[in-house]
Amino acid sequence: MKRRNFIKFAAVSGVAALPSALNATSQNVDKISQNKAAMKRFEIAINSADAAALKELVDPKAPFLTPASPEPLYGGEGYFAVVKMMRDSFPEVQWAMQDMVADERCVAVYWLCTGTHEHDFAGVAATGRKFSARVMNFYYFNDAGKITNDVAAEMAIDILQELSAHAINNDFPLRFAFFSYFWLKSPKNQKATYGLHQASKRQWPTVRH
């Protein structure tokens, strides 16, 4: 093919492919907007303990690991069980979205969780103390716009550590040890914890682990 004809062919091909590329970009933007809107609804749902909304937002087969259960909890009902566990111990608990970054398949959310320790939590009797914990969650979405996975740091450990600074019960270190033991007893939790540790070593190689 002569140079002039080649350039003409390339230009025509590029113009022909442009609508398809623009359409793909538009679809990705739509998915990102859809995922962000879903996370806004999710924030309202967990702060109002709206079981129906969580069932709508979360895929029924989505698994969630939590120290509250030795086995994964599934779907919106499973996630609601996690929210209920927190509300049973901290009735006025609130999750405030501090920041959010999204693409077409995942939304990263930086949460600030606050509450007052009014009832037993992981074996620790109510202290009446307030807590404030920050955590990063990564929510994965399917093509239907439903949450299929939630990867996060274990916030319950942060809450217990903060409560321990004020706890007057001398048995707290023992209770915390038992809580950690039952969390790590699950092979899936062991794998998740090891994976987070390895990821942190790769991300921050100069930090002592």
**pLDDT tens for each residue of 101-117:** 999 999 999 999 999 99
Q: What average pLDDT score do residues 85-100 get?
A: 94
Give residue 76's pLDDT.
Answer: 95
- What's the whole-model pTM score? 0.66
Give residue 24's pLDDT.
Answer: 54
Which are the contacts of 168, defined by CB distance < 8 A and separation ≥ 6?
Answer: 127
Q: Which residue has the higher pLDDT, 41 or 184?
A: 41
How far apart are the C-alpha atoms of 55 and 81, rounded to whole Å?
11
Give residue 163's pLDDT.
Answer: 64
Assess whether pLDDT exceeds 60 at residue 42. Answer: yes
Name the pLDDT band for 8 (thresholds 50, 70, 90). low
Q: What average pLDDT score do residues 42-53 get?
A: 97
Of the given ranges (25-29, 52-56, 77-81, 192-196), which has the lowest mean pLDDT? 192-196
Give residue 140's pLDDT.
Answer: 95
Exposure pattern of 194-203 as b/e (b: 16+ CB <10 Å)? eeeeeeeeee
Please check whether residue 147 is in contact with residue 42, taking contact to mean a CB–CB distance below 8 angstroms.
yes
| % the chain with pLDDT above 90 | 43
